[in-house]
């Protein structure tokens, strides 16, 4: 660290010297050419002759065609006044000038013209000297990986043992991933223990999972637990506009790792260079493929005694090249999934260590109410709650701050300046009431937590439902109830106002997508039981799937559409049946929403059961 600071100071001094030298050179040029103009007044040759004839010129100095002189008495005119002057002889010459000067008894001094050799030498050597200094400065920077010629230098950041203090204790949740990674730690600490048993720890480890689940933090924790140097780089750092730079950086990175062995190489977002080769539309001899080929070669070039582990992470494993993930290279795939309820509670405890929480903040309950949140989302949640408490001038974070922060993350900011008519408010209230009533009545739907008609950036209202427990397998009954809940908003609009609004757009999109997956992927339709037709939501990757034939006929596609339509129609009819039988409860809930903007899930169930009325 100290050497790096000294190098930075040295570079700063050299750059400062170079800039000062350039500035002085410019100042000298300006002074040389502009100084005479500041000291004397330029007059016309005719004016000069007039002053000579009037015997007002005291003496002159002649240098080539330039005449400098002074007058005996200051000349005062409308536009100028001067005692010294400069003028130039005409290009055609003046044979009468010298006799006139002798006649008026004016002292004449002569000087040779300035030699152009000096200025030629100055203007040719000084720029050359500046270029040499600039190249030398860039060469010094190149030794540290920067500068004009440092393209092939590795851009990896090195974290030594003293600087890398993250351990597995700092990583909440991800228990299965920690168990897998402990083998890597044991190998780096005591390689002979595993080699003595005839075993071989995988040299390549891929961490897979959604964004924000802590993949990079886990890689740093492996380095912190094992106490070895940690070289971190992202996949995009290998790419440059010059062909071959990425491959050279790969070679440089692995060479640096060998010099610091045992060590860990961590490549974040490996999909930037590890995409499947030959899948694009523009050929296969591009910079990315050369970089990937070099990476594959380096992974194969490990010797048994080289204690180097290559770790990488991505959230797009489906697009990685098969040669990258085959056994012998990146052969260990560790899934870092979204945290469970227990993991979320641990993560909330970690992210609230340095925050003052009020006694009414229940982290266990908050963990249950944040399904689908990643570790980064939970960190952002607690930070937003702290900002809200500080904005209100309070010293502690209360439960209302946490709930407001969660709603902000899920649904966006409140739109305070939005002005809605009473008719629009009624439509939104009944729309959300339709969702809530259907969700509260159907037996397999997720419990209703809160209903809101507060306008936000992502929706005009929302019905929040959270599951009682973590679900990994979804039954057909649960999905059908969920579709009915989605249709509840549109059904309420039709029943109450005899019309349909654009507020149901997102509901219809999600319902259509889920119904199509029921038919094409999950085999949950009557016509196509126990059949799957591929992944309809798969994105075309760089033209890879453009040439693939569809696995079913046009007649089957038409029948699939009919099945999707039938499922959605049945879901609408179920929602219509629930709301028709609970019309009074829907009216009461809509009225409560118009009066209070938000209604809790407990109130919704009480209204449905007839225990309270608006």
Catalytic residue numbers read 432
Number of helices and strands (H, E) in the chain?
A: 20, 14
Q: Long-range CB contacts (< 8 A, 24+ apart) of 456-461? A: 456/407, 456/411, 456/412, 456/413, 456/414, 456/415, 457/411, 457/412, 457/413, 457/415, 458/411, 458/412, 459/411, 459/412, 459/506, 460/428, 460/503, 461/428, 461/429, 461/431, 461/432, 461/503, 461/593
Q: CA separation (Å) from 430 to 142, 365, 419, 590?
A: 67, 29, 18, 5
Instruction: Decide: 270 and 308 in contact? Cβ < 8 Å.
Output: no
> 456 has which bridge partners?
414
Torsion of CA 400, 402, 407, 412, to 10 degrees: 110
> 264 has which bridge partners?
230, 309
Structure tokens at 405: 């922060």
Element (H, E) at 219: helix 215-226
Instruction: Decide: 462 and 598 in contact? Cβ < 8 Å.
Output: no
What span, in angstroms and rounded, lies between the C-alpha atoms of 336 and 328?
22
SS3 helix, strand, coil % of the chain, rounded to 5?
A: 50, 15, 35
- Whether the link from the prior residue into 162 is cis, omega within 30° of 0, is no
Sign of CA dihedral 218, 222, 227, 233: negative
What span, in angstroms and rounded, lies between the C-alpha atoms of 453 and 459?
9
What span, in angstroms and rounded, lies between the C-alpha atoms of 521 and 534?
6
Structure tokens at 47: 């004016």
**3-state DSSP call for residue 62?**
strand
Please provide residue 312's backbone torsions phi and psi, each rounded to the nearest 5 degrees.
-150, 170
Residue owning tokens 């982290």: 363
């Amino acid at each position: 660290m100290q050497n790096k600071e000294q190098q930075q100071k040295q570079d700063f001094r050299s750059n400062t010297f170079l800039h000062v030298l350039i500035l002085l050179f410019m100042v000298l040029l300006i002074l040389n050419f502009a100084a005479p103009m500041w000291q004397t007044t330029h007059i016309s040759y005719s004016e000069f002759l007039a002053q000579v004839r009037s015997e007002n010129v005291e003496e002159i100095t002649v240098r080539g065609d330039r005449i400098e002189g002074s007058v005996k008495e200051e000349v005062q005119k409308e536009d100028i006044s001067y005692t010294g002057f400069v003028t130039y002889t005409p290009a055609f010459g003046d044979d009468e000038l010298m006799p006139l000067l002798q006649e008026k008894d004016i002292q004449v001094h002569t000087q040779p013209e300035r030699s152009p050799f000096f200025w030629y030498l100055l203007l040719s050597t000084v720029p050359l000297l500046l270029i040499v200094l600039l190249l030398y400065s860039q060469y010094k920077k190149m030794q540290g990986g920067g500068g004009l010629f440092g393209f092939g230098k590795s851009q990896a950041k090195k974290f030594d043992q003293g600087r890398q203090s993250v351990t597995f204790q700092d990583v909440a949740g991800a228990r299965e991933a920690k168990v897998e990674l402990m083998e890597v730690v044991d190998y780096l600490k005591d390689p002979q223990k595993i080699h003595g048993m005839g075993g071989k720890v995988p040299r390549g480890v891929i961490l897979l999972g959604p964004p924000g689940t802590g993949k990079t933090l886990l890689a740093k924790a492996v380095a912190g637990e094992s106490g070895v140097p940690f070289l971190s780089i992202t996949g995009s750092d290998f790419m440059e506009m010059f062909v071959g730079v990425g491959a050279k950086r790969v070679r440089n990175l692995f060479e640096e790792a060998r010099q610091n062995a045992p060590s860990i190489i961590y490549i974040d977002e490996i999909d930037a260079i590890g995409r499947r080769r030959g899948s694009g539309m523009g050929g296969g001899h591009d910079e990315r493929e050369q970089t990937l080929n070099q990476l594959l070669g380096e992974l194969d070039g490990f010797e048994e005694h080289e204690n180097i582990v290559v770790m990488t992470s991505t959230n797009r494993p489906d697009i990685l090249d098969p040669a990258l993930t085959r056994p012998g290279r990146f052969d260990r795939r560790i899934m870092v999934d979204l945290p469970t309820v227990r993991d979320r509670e641990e993560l909330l405890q970690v992210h609230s260590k340095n925050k003052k929480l009020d006694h009414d903040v229940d982290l266990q309950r908050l963990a249950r109410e944040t399904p689908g949140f990643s570790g980064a989302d939970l960190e952002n949640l607690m930070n937003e709650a702290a900002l809200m408490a500080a904005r209100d001038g309070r010293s502690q974070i209360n439960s209302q701050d946490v709930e407001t922060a969660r709603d902000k993350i899920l649904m966006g900011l409140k739109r305070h300046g939005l002005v809605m008519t009473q008719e629009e408010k009624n439509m939104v209230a009944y729309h959300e009431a339709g969702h809530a009533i259907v969700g509260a009545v159907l037996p397999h739907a997720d419990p209703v937590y809160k209903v809101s008609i507060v306008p936000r950036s992502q929706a005009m209202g929302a019905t929040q439902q959270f599951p009682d427990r973590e679900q990994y397998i979804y039954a057909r009954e649960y999905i059908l109830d969920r579709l009915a809940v989605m249709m509840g908003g549109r059904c309420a609009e039709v029943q109450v106002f005899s019309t349909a609004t654009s507020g149901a757009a997102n509901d219809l999109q999600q319902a259509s997508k889920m119904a199509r997956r029921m038919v094409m992927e999950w085999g949950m339709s009557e016509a196509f039981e126990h059949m799957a037709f591929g992944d309809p939501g798969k994105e075309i990757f760089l033209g890879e799937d453009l040439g693939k034939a569809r696995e079913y006929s046009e007649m089957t596609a038409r029948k699939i559409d009919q099945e999707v339509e039938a499922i959605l129609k049945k879901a609408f009819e179920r929602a219509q049946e629930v709301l028709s039988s609970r019309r009074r409860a829907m009216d009461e809930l809509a009225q409560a929403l118009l009066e209070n903007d938000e209604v809790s899930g407990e109130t919704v169930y009480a209204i449905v059961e007839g225990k309270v009325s608006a």
